[in-house]
């Protein structure tokens, strides 16, 4: 079936009709490109109202209010002068004013309307006296509000990942993007996956040599997690690795890795959207352990990974078996 962006957006927003949901979910599950598109749509859903409600906005400056009043008075004076000129008999001449021409023009002949034609209600035309001041007020007020928004909420002009990270202080943009991507996964998404040993080894080799990431795939069976898949993704043109595991029950858990040339940092927990995240840095690599709340103790597992208490399933020197005993 052909799926357009409107259907994907409805799917990402949870507004897709039930009759279409299964087909879209299956197509997203089978297409990496479509999965990435849905992830970007999910990442762009931000709590704008909450962001503005938390801002302490200053009152309208007195100088701005005085300037608006001055513009209103000026327009009223000009409107009054124009009205006096149009009613002054001394100004009558061969060239009538537009108002006079309109008043003297013959009325159009009204044709009978068909039964299925209904006239729209007429709306009085705003005179310069009423319209112009309010146009000035609207323009200035709009400019003032726009300036406030750009000054107090500059992060809203950034990329979806940057905006999502801004809504979650302390969370790196790449972690926010990875969490949003992981939120698309359900247990059914990966339950039927059977790791291809040869393809997995080739992917790890490419991560080591092409992406220059000294990555090891942790064996998390002791924590009740079964390895399902490893993917090479990208974030802002930087290699990002996603390793997916499935617990005995509940949703999938992902360990995401990206090169971060910063000092080591101990695991710290946070929540991004509907996902729990434990992130840390070690050996010039950033790590993010991501899963749905309540399924796995991510904090304890992140500490074990940070302390090196978990053996590797496939490492740089490995050539084969996934699920090697550690």
Q: Say how many domains are in the chain.
A: 1
More confident residue, 90 or 164: 90
Over 50: is that where the pLDDT of 60 sits?
Answer: yes
Does 142 fall in a domain?
Answer: no
Q: Which tens digits make up the pLDDT trace of 86-143?
A: 655 555 555 555 445 445 555 544 445 444 444 444 444 444 444 445 555 555 555 5
> Which of these, 235, 253, 203, lies nearest to 39 by C-alpha position?
235
Yes or no: say if 246 and 254 are a contact pair by the CB < 8 Å rule. no
Does 119 fall in a domain?
Answer: no
CB atoms within 10 A of CB 172: 20
Yes or no: say if 64 and 140 are a contact pair by the CB < 8 Å rule. yes
Which CATH number fits the domain that encloses residue 284?
Answer: 3.30.200.100
Does 297 fall in a domain?
Answer: yes
Q: How far apart are CA 141 and CA 54, in angstroms?
A: 21
Q: Is 303 exposed, middle or buried (0-12, 13-18, 19+ CB in 10 A)?
A: middle
Does 159 fall in a domain?
Answer: no
CB atoms within 10 A of CB 67: 13
Average pLDDT over residues 140-159: 45
Does 310 fall in a domain?
Answer: yes
More confident residue, 10 or 221: 221
Does 276 fall in a domain?
Answer: yes
Does 270 fall in a domain?
Answer: yes
Yes or no: say if 37 and 3 are a contact pair by the CB < 8 Å rule. no
Q: How far apart are CA 73 and CA 234, in angstroms?
A: 58
Q: Give the range of the structural domain holding residue 302, as residue numbers without chain letter.
A: 171-314
Q: Which tens digits make up the pLDDT trace of 248-307?
A: 999 999 999 999 988 999 999 999 888 999 999 999 999 999 999 987 899 999 999 999
Does 291 fall in a domain?
Answer: yes
């Amino acid at each position: 079936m052909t799926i357009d962006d409107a259907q994907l957006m409805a799917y990402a927003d949870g507004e897709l009709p039930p009759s279409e949901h299964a087909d879209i979910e299956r197509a997203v599950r089978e297409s990496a490109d479509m999965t990435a598109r849905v992830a970007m749509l999910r990442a762009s859903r931000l709590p704008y109202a909450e962001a503005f409600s938390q801002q302490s906005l200053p009152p309208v400056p007195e100088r701005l209010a005085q300037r608006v009043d001055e513009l209103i008075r000026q327009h009223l004076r000009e409107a009054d002068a124009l009205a006096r000129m149009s009613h002054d008999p001394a100004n009558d001449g061969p060239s009538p004013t537009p108002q006079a021409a309109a008043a003297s023009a013959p009325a159009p002949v009204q044709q009978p309307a068909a039964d299925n034609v209904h006239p729209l209600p007429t709306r009085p035309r705003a005179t310069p006296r009423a319209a112009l001041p309010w146009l000035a007020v609207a323009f200035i007020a709009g400019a003032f509000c726009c300036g406030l928004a750009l000054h107090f909420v500059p992060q809203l002009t950034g990329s979806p990942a940057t905006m999502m990270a801004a809504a979650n202080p302390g969370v790196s943009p790449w972690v926010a993007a990875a969490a949003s991507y992981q939120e698309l996964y359900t247990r059914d998404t990966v339950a039927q996956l059977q790791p291809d040993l040869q393809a997995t080894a080739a992917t790890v080799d490419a991560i080591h040599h092409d992406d220059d990431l000294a990555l090891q795939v942790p064996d998390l069976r002791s924590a009740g997690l079964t390895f399902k898949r490893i993917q090479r993704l990208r974030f802002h043109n930087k290699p990002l690795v996603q390793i997916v595991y499935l617990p005995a029950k509940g949703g999938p858990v992902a360990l995401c890795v990206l090169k971060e040339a910063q000092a080591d940092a101990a695991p710290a927990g946070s929540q991004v959207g509907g996902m729990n995240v434990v992130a840390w840095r070690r050996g010039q690599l950033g790590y993010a352990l991501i899963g749905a709340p309540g399924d796995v103790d991510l904090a304890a597992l992140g500490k074990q990974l940070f302390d090196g208490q978990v053996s590797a399933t496939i490492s740089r020197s490995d050539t084969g078996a996934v699920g090697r005993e550690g």
